[in-house]
Amino acid sequence: MKRELSVPGIAYGGDYNPEQWPEEVWAEDMRLMREAGVTMVSVGIFSWALLEPKEGAYDFSLLDRVLELLHTHGIAADLATPTAAPPAWFFRAHPEALPVDKDGRGLSYGSRQTFCPSSPAYREAALRMAGEIARRYAGHPAVAMWHVHNEYGCHNAECYCDESAAAFRRWLRRRYADDLTALNDAWGTRFWSQWYYDWDEIIPPRPTGAVPNPTHQLDWRRFCSDELLSLYEAEREVLLEAAPDIPATTNFMAMFNFDALDYWRWAPKLDIVSNDHYLQSADPESQIDLALSGDLVRSLAGGPWLLMEHSTGAVNWQPVNRAKGPGELRRNALAHVARGADGIAYFQWRAAKAGAEQWHSAMLPHAGTDSQIWRDVVRLGADLRALAEVRGSVGTAEVAIVWDWNARWAMELPSQPSGELRFHDLVRSWYEPLWRAGVAVDFVRPDADLSAYRLVLAPSLYLVDDEGAANLTGFAERGGTLAVGFHSGAVDENCHVRLGGYPGAFREALGVRTDELFPLLPGESVGLSDGGAGTLWSERVRLAGAESVTAYTSGPLRGVPAVTRNAHGTGVTWYLATLPDPDTLAALMDRIRAEAGVEPVRGTPEGVEAVLRRGPEADYLFLINHTDRPAHVAVASDATELLTGRPVPGAVSVAAGETAVVREPRRVAGWEDIS
Ligand SMILES: [Zn+2]
C-alpha cells in the first residue's frame, strides 16, 4: 500500500536546520516561511549529535519546540531519521563501524555518511534512533512524512572492510542459492585461476595486480545497492510500526554524477518517491539534464513525485559553482513540476554561516531578504499556489528509453573495447534531440510493459538478460519501433559475451551481424554518407536482412553500414552502430519517430520547452522559454494561463526566460462530432 502526502496542492519548502541558529531566529524563520508560502519543511536530517548527546541518553527538547512552532504556523514537517551522520561518540565506541575505502584506507569521522553500511553496531544504533523518533512523533500533528536517512550512498556506497566482505559473501550465498559452483560458473573463474573452493575465499574486488573479474565487480555493485536498501527497509519498518499511516520517502539522487543505487529496486519500497537534483555549472544546457532526471524520477515513481532538494543558486561542491541567471530558479522549479513533481523543496531554508555547506545557496541567502533569490523564492511560492490543481496529474509518453543500472555498471567496468563509453552521456545524447523537439519520454526497465509506447529506444544496453531482450524485440515483432545503440545486447546478466556475432541479443531482430568492433579514439570521427560524422564507435556490420540507411565514408570501414533499418515482425528495428554528431542524430531521431507516428507535445519555437501533464478534467501545458526572445504558442480557444490567471484564447505569449502554464479543458470524446 502506498501512503499519500496530506499536504495540499504543490508542496513548497526546503531543509530546515534551526539547530544551526539561536532560537530567537526561529520566529523570523516562521514569519518569512509564511511570506514565501512554504507549506512543508524537512527537519532533523543531521541532528543526531544533538538529539542523542551520549549513547542511550536522548534530548528531544529542541525537536519538540521546532515541531510545535511549525505546527502553530501551519507548516508540515517531513521529519527525518538523522541516521546519515552518526555522532563522534558513536565512532569512539565503535571504531569498527568506520568504513574502509577501496584502497584499504580507513576513513575517519568528522563529516557525514562515514559509516560502514554493513556494520551491525551502526544498524543497531540507527534503528534505535529511528525507533525513538517514530514513537515520540508518530502522533504529532505537524508530521506529514518520514524522511528516511539522507541521500543513501552519496559518500559511502562502497565499503571494503572485513565486515562488508562477510556481508557480501552472505549476499552471494543467497544470490547463488548456496551453490559455489553456480557462482564460479557465473563469474567465469576458470579464467586466471580464480576458482573458489570455499565461500570464505571470496572478498570484495579490492585493488589487485591486474583487472579484477568483471562479474565479481558487477555483483559487488549489486550487493552495495542492496545493502543500503536493506538499511532503508529496516528503518522504514520501525517507522511504520509506530505510525502505519504516515508515508515514508528517502531522497534519491537521479542525476548526472550518481550511479551507486539501482533505483528500480528501491522505488517500489517508497510510499512517495523523492529526488535531489542539482545543475552542473560546466554544462551550458543543464536544463536538459534536469528534464532527463525529472522524466526518470517520474518513471521510477510511476506518477507524481517530490523534488526534495534543488538549489536556489550556486552549490558548493563543483570546481566552480555558478549562480543562476535571471528567471532560472523559476524555470528550473516549474520544469520539475512539468515533469511530475508535486512538491518543490530546496537545500536549504536559511544559508549557513558555518559548516561544510556555508557556500551553498539557500532560500534565504546570506544577503537576507533584500536579494534577488529571496524575491524569486517568494514569487515561486505564489506560482506554486496558483498551480495547486495540477497536483496528481500525470504526463503521458509514446516514447520510452530503456534505462538499466546493471547495464550502466557493466559497461563502465575496466577492460572494455572502449573506456570512453559513459551510459549517462549516451542516453543523454539520444534524449537531447527529443527534448529539443518537445517529445514526451518515459524511462523503462528492459522487462517493462511496453504496450503503451510506439517507439522504444535502447541507446546503451550493453548488458541485458534473455527476458529483457525478448521483451524489447517482442515489442518490435508486434508492431512497435525499436532503436538500439551500439554495444548493446553484448553480454548477459553474468557479463558473459553472447556468441555468434554482435550485437548479441539484438542481432536477429536488427537483421545485422557484426564480426569485429572498431571503437574510435577520443576526438576521432568517421565520415557518414548522409554528410554527418560518427564518433566514439564503429563496427563492421554485415546486413542480414536489414537495409543500410547510412554508411561510413572514411576509415577502415568505408562503405560498411553505420545505421540500419529492418522490418521485424509487424514492426521496425533500427541499429545505430556509431554515435552520429548531434545534428545528424537529431535528423535521424526525427525520421525514426516520424515513421513511428510520434508527435511533439506541441509545436514551439526552438528553445521553448513544452511539457504536458494530463488531469481528469484538463491538460496542463508547461511552456518554458529558455531563449532571450519572447515566444508565441498556439493553445486551445478556451485556455487559461494559471500563473497569471488570465484567459489566453487560442495563443499564449511567453516572455524571454519566462514560463507559462496553460490550462486547456479536456475535450469530451467525440466532441467534434457533436458540434
Ligand atoms: Zn564495511
The rounded Å distance from CA 193 to ligand 1 centre is 27
CA of 204 to the centre of ligand 1 (A): 10
Q: What is the pLDDT of residue 674?
A: 38
Ligand 1 centroid from CA 149, angstroms: 18
Per-residue pLDDT of 388-413, as tens digits, reads: 999 999 999 999 999 999 999 999 99
Peptide bond into 503 cis (omega under 30): yes
| Distance from the alpha carbon of residue 198 to the mean position of ligand 1, in angstroms | 21
> Among residues 158, 227, 309, 328, which one is catalytic?
309
Is 24 known to be catalytic?
no
CATH, range 11-174+205-390: 3.20.20.80
Residues of the chain whose pLDDT is less than 50?
A: 670-675
- Give dist(CA 35, CA 487) in Å, integer: 54
Contacts of 143 (CB under 8 A, 6+ apart): 67, 76, 77, 79, 137, 243, 246
Give the Cβ contact number of residue 37 at 10 Å.
Answer: 18
What is the whole-number distance in angstroms between the Cα of residue 221 and the centre of ligand 1?
A: 14
The answer to whether residues 483 and 442 touch, using CB atoms and an 8 Å cutoff, is no
Q: Which residues are annotated as a binding site for substrate?
A: 112, 150, 317
Binding residue numbers: 112, 116, 150, 159, 161, 317
Which cell numbers in the block locate residue 18? 534551526
Residue with cell 494559471: 642
Query: Which among 564, 540, 562 is positioned nearest to 417, based on CA atoms?
Result: 540
Q: Of all helices (H) and strands (E), which one includes residue 504? A: none
Cα 252 to Cα 308: distance, rounded to the nearest angstrom: 9
Q: How much distance in Å is there from the Cα of 276 to the middle of ligand 1? A: 26
176 half-sphere exposure, CB direction, 13 A CA radius? 21
SS3 210: coil
Instruction: Please give the C-alpha separations between residue 233 and each of 78, 229, 244, in angstroms, as whole numbers.
Output: 18, 6, 14
Q: For residue 277, give the DSSP letter.
A: -
Q: Was domain 399-595 assigned CATH 2.30.30.830?
A: no
**Dihedral, CA atoms, 505, 507, 513, 517, nearest 10 degrees?**
-40
Determine the pLDDT at residue 675.
Answer: 33
Give the Å distance between the CA of 35 and the centre of ligand 1. Answer: 46
Q: Are domains 399-595 and 608-674 of this chain identical in fold?
A: no
Long-range contacts of 230-236 (CB under 8 A, 24+ apart): 231/117, 231/123, 231/126, 231/149, 231/152, 232/148, 232/149, 232/152, 232/266, 232/269, 233/269, 234/123, 234/126, 234/127, 235/81, 235/83, 235/126, 235/127, 235/130, 235/148, 235/149, 236/146, 236/148, 236/269
Distance, CA 157 to ligand 1 centroid (Å)?
A: 10
In the prediction, which pLDDT does 1 show? 72
Give pLDDT, residue 669.
54
Q: Which residues are annotated as a binding site for Zn(2+)?
A: 116, 159, 161
Give the pLDDT of residue 622.
98
Fold topology of 608-674:
Immunoglobulin-like (2.60.40)
Q: What is the pLDDT of residue 423?
A: 98
Distance 174 CA to ligand 1 centre (A): 19
| Cα–Cα–Cα angle for 236, 240, 245, rounded to 5 degrees | 130
Is 151 an active-site residue? Answer: yes
Q: What is the DSSP string of 531-587?
A: S-EEES--EEEEESS-EEEEEB-SSTTTTSEEEEEEEETTEEEEEE-SEE-HHHHHH
- Distance separating alpha carbons of residues 54 and 42, to the nearest angstrom: 24
Residue 450: per-residue pLDDT: 98
Best CA proximity match to 307, nearest among 10, 615, 608: 10
Q: Which of 151, 357, 493, 609 is catalytic?
A: 151
Alpha-carbon torsion 571, 575, 579, 580, what sign?
Answer: negative
Q: Give the distance (Å) from ligand 1 centre to CA of residue 413.
A: 22
What is the chain's length? 675
Enter the DSSP assignment of 600.
Answer: -
Residue pair 526/580 in contact (Cβ under 8 Å)? The answer is no
Sketch the domain layout of the chain as residue ranges. 11-174+205-390, 399-595, 608-674
Amino acid at 121: A
Query: Residue 628 half-sphere exposure, CB side, CA atoms within 13 Å?
Result: 2
Return d(Cα 262, Cα 187) in angstroms, integer: 21
